[in-house]
Amino acid sequence: VRFMWSLFWLLPIQIFLMIGLFDYYRVMEVWIKHFWGDASMAYLRGLFCEEGTENDECVVPIMGGEEYKNEKAWCLAKYNSTRCEYIRNEAQYECTVASYIFFTSNGVWALILVFLIWVTLSVLQAIISMPIVQRSKESNIPLWLTLPIVGCFGLGYILLYAPRSMTVKQSSQDLYWIGLCYFVSGGAFALAAVVGCFLKFYSVLNRREKKFKQGI
């Protein structure tokens, strides 16, 4: 039973992390483009830039930076060449493709793992027997719902009441509805926890009470 509940705790965390592996808004592409010349990207530049250019031609800034008109002017001034933009773009493209392949493949493996956890839970519940599983759920569901309750109310509070910058204030209406949805979700989880507590402490003395408890 303890192993079953450890899987119950692991499953939503696994699903949450799996969703985070899929880059729906192409954040990785933007990050690579704008932080390409940063020291934190040195390892990736060494992998994808032409040999010997990872700290030179390959780090040409976007539009040539502040001191130059464009990438070509930057490259001519520093290296007497016009290939800097081409070298950088090719390296960034290869890095972006490799990153998407890496994260997507990990997302697929995570999805397979979620399926295996679900199959394991189904087999465990069949082995343990449904009456024992039912009693265990009645005892542990309120505790199991603690994490989503705290998470939903916490995120809702941050979105609705935390101090905001001027940029965030411009989209405060959208944030208001998102925060409100988090509060509603937290309330639904809290209601489910209350029902779980009721089922946990509600004793069955006859067949009528048993049907009432099953109906809840």
Beta strands in 35-185 (DSSP E): none
Name the pLDDT band for 182 (thresholds 50, 70, 90): confident
Q: What are the phi and psi torsion angles at 36 (to 5°)?
A: -60, -40
Position 171 scores a pLDDT of 54
Q: What is the mean pLDDT of residues 153-175?
A: 67
Q: How many helices (H) and strands (E) does the chain have?
A: 10, 0
Residues 6+ apart with CB under 8 A from 112: none
Q: What is the mean pLDDT of residues 190-214?
A: 66
Only one residue has tokens 């509603």, namely: 184
Assigned token pair, 36: 């390409």
Position 17 scores a pLDDT of 82
Is the pLDDT score of 212 beyond 70?
no
Name the pLDDT band for 170 (thresholds 50, 70, 90): very low
| pLDDT digits 0-9 by tens, 26-84 | 888 888 998 998 888 999 999 999 998 888 899 999 888 888 889 999 999 998 988 99
* DSSP-based three-state secondary structure for 40: helix
Beta strands in 79-207 (DSSP E): none
Only one residue has tokens 């941050």, namely: 158
Looking at every residue in the chain, the average pLDDT score rounds to: 82
| pLDDT digits 0-9 by tens, 102-135 | 988 998 999 999 999 999 988 888 888 777 777 7
